[in-house]
A and B are shown apart, each in its own frame.
Chain A
């Protein structure tokens, strides 16, 4: 047993670890080239001990937080602990060896102090293109080999010397080497920074003190989460839903089932009853993604950073109380060689189903049904020079209503938290132009005492012929309402040509669609479900929603029992309090 570190030093080292992770993340996204990293911040970075415990992680995108230990364990199968040398750097993305999914390339460097291996500095970032069957993203592919380059624990640097052959191999096997190689440089710079800062920290406080402090910080975070779990009544909580299809077999929906078993201060998430693995890329790597989604759900529900005053260190401690079970061969734990690249919509749903399952016992911490999806669009084409352009865009959606407030509109929910790309920056550099980016007004948010969030609509127009892959879901199963709230609406994808007038609706996921000049692809996101009885919503808020165009006058009357009258004040509508009272009373009776 090590000597306990005093609470003052503990606080000092905890602050330092947090700050190191933040700086690693900042260097990575600010130096990088592709918009998916620099604007969307689809990345994660942190420090780890020799046992692959997370000591600290950057506060960037939740999906990446908690995924890196999987990479480290996967790499160990190629590079055992005793093989590391100072100055080494490993590149890794194999989804069956711990990677989150293949485009999330990990960079790992060992940290040596006084001659001993003490831990690792590592990061992951989503790369625009790794040479898969279709540019950028894949859905309908035969197996994991069609995902592109598989880099399984390869030494990119050996004792400080770059492996030029490997560097060239990577560069030759992506459609956009100028972006991918620049992004790798940024990842390496970030990992180097982590190595230096970790060493400095140990030089300042001593190796044993830092390692002991990090163990105590993990215990602290673990205890904070366990105390919250303990407040939930023991029991098995179940929620179900379904996915549209696997991207190939249209019309065949895929069942989702989540059982949350609360026992004392620990919890198990079991996905048994969910779909078997599918023959396309629509599967979820277990270590790097399924588990991460479950960790996220409990942290966000129980240690919500908005309602908690204290910052609780982001480390391994938040993973320990959560056990995850998914049968081998299921969509959440596939068997090689099925592909598992397009996994985000499923883990969003997994997370949302955990919230749904626990909502009856956590009414003041949960949400109504969130959009719980990802619209991930890969636009691409070939320039006259012969070079590819590839652009990955994440479209936001909406959240469900909440115990004290409406669901946020047009926002990144749950596992994702990227930034959108400035339309003007894209317009200056790509043969693609945005024609519409607004709140969705063809389908209202789910009605409730606190309504769901409004969805988004985004239209992109091709100025030259190209390709498109769209990874999404939820054209079929709408976000649910809760405690009397109404459900939200499903998503839809529209394809229209401005020149020929050709018009069609597409499934939520499609691969390698060839596009023509003037093709406009429009995504309408789901809208969030409502929380609580809409008849209890403050009439003034309903009026606000009408004036702001989030809902119509008819919807206000039919779903909220709020009657408005026309006025000539420049805004058009005012509250008819008498009629509203009468209508609501009538609804109560009826």
Chain B
């Protein structure tokens, strides 16, 4: 079995190849190529061919390719999507123009509203037709005016629309009108990307549903073209492997499904890192992990609890300021990374980020014309990143430029020593990251004292211990390959499909008839999942289903997920859902109520199929302490407490399972350095990951 994971980033495309044969240790080969922003699939194919060469594998021997892509996300951010038309209910042409009528800035007169200045569907292309579905039953008050739909579709044909969405009010109660209108549009525009809002996401709240449908249509034609093109390019190069795409929810999907619902790919990129973090945790015996993926300009933070990914509350899922009602891993991105710039603002405050030096000009030490000091420059000045090992020696840097930049912009104006200024830069950036971690953990009912902090991305392990101290995490894990954790994640996740339907019902006193109605919805959702899995050729025995009810107390506006026991719903299972919701509410808000009624708002069925997971070879047994054979050299390094020490560097590739490294020490590998501060102890685990904790003597 040969499987390849390809993760496309802004600068590099990372590739992981795994070859496993029964009875033998798996072979894992990793490499990277430059990304090709004009057509990501070029870099993907180049990378696969390169990794094949390194592993001695013929392209035709690959069984499966797993791909994490930012194609859809970039299309939204750069507003390079399709020309979309919308047919909607008369009287409600501008739901997407008003959005939630809240502006993104409180204290601003000059702010921008992206949904008005850069709309997914222009007002002229939003056409209204007569029809009316009435709440709360879904009865038809005004029948669909089919001639108006036909007229609108003909106008769209004349205007040359790439895509058309049909989005009617209350379609989550009754989608008859949406479906009929969609048929009419399809008959007139057979080649366009046509969808109904209830196809994309069948849930209550018109703005979010309409906007999600519009987003899906906006990225649909070009995303599906990209995926088809990728498949063609692979075939043309002799790679006839099965292709699977990473989704925002952390599962993988087929090319067909991703082409139809590209909205599920918007967090495809960052999802891989979190999955890779979970998998690293599994073979480090950790199932409570806070992950932080630190890049050049931003850091992605997520929490894994009891081995489960946390899914963002649907009320908070957005991309480029626009709502996206599909399940996404709860990842918070903040503007803090190696390239974050340190400066003194006009009022005299010491700031670090979110402005970044990016890849060009990059940190001052890159000598590409950047004069402002960055986080990376601070690490260099403190002796935490050695010039000869920078990016594995692929990049030469000039440490004196780091020093000059920090002196000029920070140390002199604030009358600090060079090292205190550099320590200050790190303290501020670490504090920004720690506050963001708290917002994604403590603020959501997670107690970091029971969690391990896992930093990855090239710069992650430089910050891990400082961050763990700041948030009081239990210990730190440095993954075996911090730089390619995201690409590894592609090889270790499940096939996953989700189906939703808003079904409002108060659980506490529901009648048998109401349970019957809900069970019919559940059956339908499961049947839809089965149809997809049939199409994928998945045997029934491998299919797993999970049922979730999104609930709130009657009158509340925000739902939380509660697990639904297997099988049909009834009085007893309703009680279990109420308890599950009670616990979720208590965890998230610190309070929950027994005297309030619980309302189910949306039902969700999640179908998963386990996929073969990546198996790393175990390291040989070492059991040594500070093995001299792994030491490269010693050099002066300054730690967070301001103390400098002559600090040994160890070569990570030479460490074996059970080896222990006493701090202060730096553990260096290609493209990543792990800091073990004084008073800490690092232990190498069975597969090469390192656990770092306070040395209790």
Contacts and interface: CB of A to CB of B under 8 A. Distances in A.
Contacts of A575: none
A306 B439 contact: no
Interface in A274-307: 296, 299-301, 303-307
A366 B108 CA distance: 10
B110 interface: yes
B551 to A, nearest CB: 14
B124 A548 contact: yes
Nearest to A399: B109
Interface stretch (A26-34, A92-100, A243-251, A508-516): A26-34
Interface string A216-244: 00001001100100000000000000000
Interface in A539-584: 547-550, 569-571
A32 B109 contact: no
Chain B contact residues (Cβ within 8 angstroms of A): what range?
A: 35 or more
Interface string B118-131: 00001110000000
B103 A182 contact: no
Contacts of A11: 349-351, 428, 431
B109 A355 contact: yes
A178 interface: yes
B357 to A, nearest CB: 15
Contacts of A301: 109
A570 B122 CA distance: 14
A10 interface: yes
A75 to B, nearest CB: 25
Nearest to B108: A306
A424 B107 contact: no
A448 to B, nearest CB: 15
A426 to B, nearest CB: 8
B10 interface: no
Contacts of B588: 30
B94 A7 contact: no
A296 B427 contact: no
Interface string B335-356: 0000000000111111100010
Given A7-B414, A39-B557, A365-B109, A417 B102 contact: yes
B122 to A, nearest CB: 6
B594 interface: no
Interface residues of A, number: 91
Interface in A393-413: 396, 399, 402-405, 408-413
B23 interface: no
Nearest to B420: A8
A22 interface: yes
B92 A26 contact: no
Interface string B406-445: 0000000010000000011001100110010011000100
A408 B156 CA distance: 28
Contact of B98 (A26, A65, A309, A437): A437
Contacts of B439: 19, 22-23
Nearest to A436: B91
B155 interface: yes
Interface stretch (A130-138, A141-149, A150-158, A427-435): A427-435
A402 B110 CA distance: 7
Contacts of B123: 439, 548-550
Contacts of A437: 91-92, 94-95, 98
B696 interface: no
Contacts of A438: 91-94
Contacts of B423: 8
Contacts of A425: 204-205, 557
Interface in B124-165: 124, 134-136, 155-156, 158-160
Contacts of A349: none
Contact of B101 (A399, A419, A428, A547): A419
A411 B113 contact: yes
A367 interface: yes
A19 B158 CA distance: 52
A549 B207 CA distance: 21
Contact of B135 (A179, A418, A427): A427
Contact of A62 (B106, B116, B135, B591): B106
A60 B106 CA distance: 8
Nearest to A550: B123
B98 A456 contact: yes
B205 A409 contact: no
Contacts of B639: none
Nearest to B436: A19
A585 interface: no
A31 B350 CA distance: 36
Contact of A305 (B107, B124, B208): B107
B106 A435 contact: no
B93 A439 contact: yes
B409 to A, nearest CB: 13
A548 B111 CA distance: 22
A27 B205 CA distance: 22
Nearest to A310: B345
Contacts of A41: 102
A7 B101 contact: no
Given A19-B438, A27-B589, A420 B351 contact: no
A548 B108 CA distance: 26
Contacts of A569: 158-159
A547 B127 CA distance: 12
A484 B94 CA distance: 30
B138 to A, nearest CB: 10
Interface in B63-121: 91-95, 97-98, 100-103, 105-113, 116-117
Contacts of A15: 431-432, 435
B293 interface: no
Contacts of A418: 101-102
Contact of B589 (A189, A367, A403): A189
A306 B427 contact: no
A16 interface: yes
B106 to A, nearest CB: 5
Contacts of B432: 15
B170 interface: yes
Given A404-B110, A427-B135, A7 B93 contact: no
Given A8-B428, A424-B172, A310 B351 contact: yes
Contact of B110 (A8, A26, A224, A307): A307
B285 to A, nearest CB: 30
A143 to B, nearest CB: 32
A387 interface: no
B597 to A, nearest CB: 10
Contacts of B100: 419-420
B619 interface: no
A179 B349 contact: no
B134 A433 contact: yes
A34 B554 CA distance: 10
Contact of B435 (A16, A27, A62, A193): A16
Contacts of A224: 346-347
B110 A304 contact: yes
Contacts of A16: 431, 435
A55 B147 CA distance: 61
A62 B91 contact: no
Given A15-B431, A427-B136, A428-B135, A304 B109 contact: yes
Interface of A: 7-8, 10-12, 14-16, 19, 22-23, 26-27, 30-35, 38-39, 41, 59-62, 65, 178-179, 182, 185, 189, 193, 220, 223-224, 227, 296, 299-301, 303-307, 309-310, 312, 355, 365-367, 396, 399, 402-405, 408-413, 417-420, 422-425, 427-429, 433, 435-439, 456, 459, 547-550, 569-571
17 contacts: A7-B348, A23-B439, A32-B556, A33-B553, A41-B102, A178-B555, A296-B107, A303-B107, A304-B110, A304-B111, A310-B347, A310-B349, A365-B110, A404-B110, A412-B102, A420-B100, A456-B101
7 tightest A-B CB contacts, nearest first = A427-B135, A38-B557, A570-B158, A570-B159, A548-B123, A436-B91, A33-B555
Given A396-B98, A437-B91, 4 more contacts: A306-B112, A408-B111, A423-B206, A424-B135
